[in-house]
Amino acid sequence: MKLLVVVFALIAACNTAPFDSIPGDNSHYVEGESRFIWIPDGNGVPQLVDLEEPVDEDVLYGRNGANNQYWLFTRRNPNNHQILVNGNANSVTNSNYNRNLPLKVIVHGWNSNGNSDINPIITSAFLAVQDCNVIVVDWRDLANRNYITAANGVPGVGQFLGNFLIWLINTAGGNWNNVHLVGFSLGAHVVGNAGRTAGGRPRRVTGLDPAGPTWGGNSNALNANAGGYVECIHTDGGLLGIFDPIGHTDFYPNGGRNAQPGCWVSTCSHSRAYDLYASTVRTNHLVGRRCNNLNEARNVQCAGATLNMGNGILSKSGSGLYGLQTGDRWPY
């Protein structure tokens, strides 16, 4: 039944689309010019987005970052989250939060929630290799509105997250050198704002194919000021993701663009970023070669020094552009 609903939804979207397009196929899209684009929801299903749709001001200011939920997972509760409430010390004291362990924070993208694919995939990867606190940020109240409204709400969501982390560490303990923020698509810009709100104190910030539409040249986008070491993994650059380097280190697997191996449409290439990242957390086997310029990265012609892509190692550092090739299926 669920499959039929998805199929009918895609057929309906095709019938109402202002152009002939296969759901998820963004070959028509020209950055800064096109009005419509396919963006995947939290389950990877393409949704047609109108980039000129007006911002819903009532939603934007009624469902801002104050509505964030913070779901804690640890090795003591790997599958059932505990909710931490900003300003409520008892919610932390009565949880499995351990101030002596590293803190990983995961933020989903548009039209998603705390249960969307990215969260269990990366949460389970972190807990498989390291005893740590994992906080999944659920910002569905705003993320599940139209794309333009959600994108405009990103700075507020990130600022509330940053202030929550400051409160958490000041109240329950912790070490900023043990903090690692990970965000996908719009979530990458959320963690950028969170890191800057916290004064750039998070040790690591990872952007997984940071959202592209409306974010080129946007001062609220993820940048190197968000943390001690900011790394981006680009998989659908120029379409659903930003292609230009924006971190200390930027990785371009398979050219950093659509189509990623095993993908036929842009929405698959966009989502591939978090699958690749989860695999590197578990195995740390994907190795990039340094590129002299962006053109080398685009054409997978990089032959410089090596640096492992992704992983969850807090002491990791580096700079520059890196290219690599991956396989078409797990573990890539």
Contact (Cβ atoms closer than 8 angstroms) between residue 39 and residue 47: yes
- Residue of 325, 181, 321 lying closest to 249 (CA atoms): 321
Query: Comparing C-alpha atoms, which of 274, 220, 216 is closest to residue 242?
Result: 216
Instruction: For 118-147, write each residue's pLDDT tens digit.
Output: 999 999 999 999 999 999 999 999 999 999
pLDDT digits (tens, 9 = 90+) for 254-269: 999 999 999 999 999 9
pLDDT tens, residue by residue, 203-219 = 999 999 999 999 988 99
Please say if the pLDDT value at position 7 is more than 60. Answer: no
**Chain-wide mean pLDDT for the chain?**
93
Q: What angle do CA 121, 126, 127 make, to 5 degrees?
A: 100
Q: What's the order of all strands across the beta sheet hosting 320-324?
A: 77-84, 69-74, 133-138, 103-107, 179-184, 204-208, 229-233, 249-253, 320-324, 287-291, 306-308
- Paired tokens of 157: 């969501």
Whether pLDDT at 243 is above 90:
yes
64-78 confidence digits (pLDDT tens): 889 999 999 999 999
Write down the residue that tokens 């801002």 correspond to: 64
Q: Which positions are catalytic?
A: 185, 209, 285
pLDDT at 14 over 90: no
Average pLDDT over residues 26-42: 92
| Side-chain half-sphere exposure of 330, counting CA atoms within 13 A | 8
The packing angle between helices 147-172 and 186-197, to 10°, is: 40
20: confidence class by pLDDT, cuts 50, 70, 90: low
pLDDT above 70 (res 170)? yes
Q: Which tens digits make up the pLDDT trace of 79-128? A: 999 999 999 999 999 999 999 999 999 999 999 999 999 999 999 999 99
The amino acid occupying position 293 is: N
Confidence of residue 12 (pLDDT cuts 50, 70, 90): very low
Q: Residue 232's beta-bridge partner residues?
A: 207, 250
Q: Which domains are present in the chain?
A: 2-324 (3.40.50.1820)
